[in-house]
A and B are shown apart, each in its own frame.
Chain A
Amino acid sequence: MNPDSSSMAPRIAHARDFDEWRERARRLLMAGVPPPNVTWRDGDDSHDDLFSSPPASVKPPSSREPSSTSIRIGREQLALLRNAARYRSGKGEQARWPLLYRVLWRWVQGDAAATHPADADGRVLHQRWHAVKREAHHMHAFLRFHRRDDALGERYVAWFEPAHDVLDLGAEHFADRMGGSPWLIATPEGGVHWNGSTLDYRFPCPAAWTTEARTAAERANADEDHALWRTYFVSTFNPARLNHKVMTQHMPQRFWRHLSEGDLIPSMEAKARHGGQRLAQESSVGQRKGKALPPGRLASHRPPPASDD
Chain B
Amino acid sequence: MELIDKLSILADAAKYDASCASSGAPKRSSRGKAGLGSSDGMGICHSFTPDGRCVSLLKVLLTNFCLFDCQYCVNRRSSNVPRARFTPEEVVRLTLSFYRRNTISGLFLSSGIIRSSDYTMEQMIQVARSLRETHQFRGYIHLKAIPEADPKLLEEAGRYADRLSANIELPTLTSLKTLAPEKELGTIHSAMGHMRQRIDAANDDARQDARHPVRSNNPKRQAPRYAPGGQSTQMIVGADATDDRTILQSAQHLYRDFRLKRVYYSAFSPIPERPAGLPQAAPPLLREHRLYQADFLIRSYGFQAEELLNAPGNLDLEIDPKLAWALAHRNDFPVDLNRAEPAMIARVPGIGLRSVQRLIDLRRLRRIRYQDLVALRCRLDTMRPFVITQDYRPADANLDSTRLRQSLTAPQPAQMALW
Q: Which A residues fall within an 8 A CB radius of B? A: 112-113, 116-120, 123, 137, 140-147, 156, 158, 173-181, 197, 225-229, 231-247, 249-251, 259-261, 265, 268-269, 272, 278-282, 284-286, 288-300, 302, 305-306, 308-309
Contact = CB atoms under 8 A, between A and B. Distances in A.
B392 interface: no
21 contacts: A118-B358, A140-B44, A142-B46, A147-B100, A176-B30, A226-B101, A227-B4, A235-B9, A241-B53, A242-B51, A247-B48, A260-B101, A281-B272, A282-B12, A288-B82, A290-B82, A291-B81, A293-B66, A295-B77, A296-B67, A302-B117
Interface string B55-71: 10011100001111100
B55 A233 contact: yes
B8 A235 contact: yes
Nearest to B42: A137
A305 B69 contact: yes
A180 B52 contact: no
Given A228-B7, A292-B77, A305-B69, A116 B83 contact: no
Nearest to A243: B52
B231 interface: no
A197 B51 contact: no
B49 A240 contact: no
B77 A296 contact: yes
A73 to B, nearest CB: 16
Contact of B358 (A117, A251, A280, A281): A117
Q: Which 5 A-B pairs have the closest CB atoms?
A: A246-B52, A179-B30, A243-B52, A280-B269, A290-B80
Of B9, B38, B50, B68, chain A has the most CB atoms within 10 Å of the CB of B50
Contacts of B285: 241, 243
B272 A305 contact: no
A286 B362 CA distance: 57
A298 B49 contact: no
B375 A123 contact: yes
Contacts of A296: 67, 77
B361 interface: yes
Contacts of A241: 51-53, 267, 269, 285
Contact of A228 (B3, B116, B119, B365): B3
Given A227-B4, A232-B98, 15 more contacts: A119-B375, A141-B46, A145-B101, A176-B30, A235-B7, A236-B59, A238-B53, A260-B101, A280-B271, A282-B8, A290-B82, A295-B69, A305-B181, A308-B69, A308-B181
B52 A247 contact: yes
B97 interface: yes
Contacts of B37: 177, 179
B408 interface: no
A272 B50 contact: yes
Contacts of A156: 100-101
Nearest to B101: A145
A119 B365 CA distance: 11
Nearest to A249: B52
B33 interface: yes
B100 A116 contact: no
Interface string B345-385: 00000000000001001100110000110011000000000
Given A141-B46, A279-B270, A305-B181, A118 B52 contact: no
Interface string B191-204: 00000000000000
A231 to B, nearest CB: 5
Contact of A236 (B55, B67, B78, B118): B55
Between B48, B69, B371, the greatest number of chain A beta carbons within 10 A of the residue's beta carbon is seen for B48
Given A177-B30, A234-B8, A309-B69, A300 B54 contact: no
B237 interface: no
Given A117-B375, A302-B117, A112 B365 contact: yes
A240 B38 contact: no
Contacts of A233: 47, 49, 55
A227 B103 CA distance: 13
A194 B74 CA distance: 45
B94 interface: yes
B3 A291 contact: no
A197 B4 CA distance: 35
A272 B269 CA distance: 14
A300 B69 contact: no
Contacts of B48: 246-247, 250-251
B192 to A, nearest CB: 18
B97 A228 contact: yes
Contacts of A302: 117, 148
Contacts of B47: 141-142, 233, 251, 259, 261
Nearest to B368: A118
B50 A242 contact: yes
Contacts of A290: 79-83
B97 A232 contact: no
A173 B37 CA distance: 10
A144 B103 contact: yes
B82 A236 contact: no
Contact of B272 (A225, A242, A279, A284): A279
A225 B51 contact: no
A284 B101 CA distance: 26
Contacts of A272: 50
Contacts of A123: 375
Contacts of B182: 298, 305
Contacts of B83: 290-291, 293
B255 interface: no
B52 A245 contact: yes
Interface string B245-273: 00000000000000000000001011110
Nearest to B51: A241
A259 B365 CA distance: 46
B413 interface: no
A4 B322 CA distance: 57
A229 B67 CA distance: 29
Contacts of B269: 238, 240-241, 279-280
Given A279-B272, A280-B270, A285 B82 contact: yes
